[in-house]
Amino acid sequence: MKPLLIAAALVLAPAAAHAQVAAGSMPNTFDQPAAPARASAAAPAPAARATAPANPRAEATLRAFISGAQTGAIDYSVMTPDLATKVREQEGQVRPLIQSLGAVQAVDFVDSQDGADLFAVVFANAATEWIIGFDESGKVAALLFRPAQ
């Protein structure tokens, strides 16, 4: 199953993750023995995972969206106008897909980055990942889901 975009995709990977690193140089072993290895600078520690969603309403809003999609009653009033338009355009494809996933078994917060929250949502028939993000006024501005990795 391919990822299904419900809103503008969020770029969650930092640009540094795509940076290229040059290979080191090796001593010429035919000229002289290699010098003892020097301790290299410690690599930066990975960023700590968020312990709570960036928006305290994220899980409840996500659950409400999923429920609305499964029952055919999506609440567009919680979305930005742009997102609401995009979801309406895709509702004919999104709603049957979400309905086919079955009942929600579990919703677990995974991480938060750049104001967007990632949740693992397990349905009766599939495991998925959802990203939800809010704008400054508290409206849902981004919503994305895909099969769990």
Question: What is the pLDDT confidence band of residue 45, given thresholds at 50, 70 and 90?
Answer: low
The model's pTM is: 0.69
CA distance 60 to 63: 5
Report if residue 76 sits inside a domain.
yes
In-domain check, residue 28 = no
Domain count for the chain: 1
Tell me if 69 is assigned to some domain: yes
Q: Give me 139's structure tokens.
A: 């409206």
Domain enclosing residue 102, as ranges: 53-147
Residues in the chain: 149
> pLDDT value at position 133?
96
Higher pLDDT among residues 69 and 36, named by residue: 69
Q: Summarize pLDDT for 78-117 with one digit per residue, the tens.
A: 999 999 999 999 999 999 999 999 999 999 999 999 899 9
For residue 50, name the pLDDT band (cuts at 50, 70, 90): confident
The answer to the question of residue 44 being in a domain is no
Say yes or no to pLDDT of 127 above 50: yes
Can you give the CATH number for the domain in which 104 is found?
A: 3.10.450
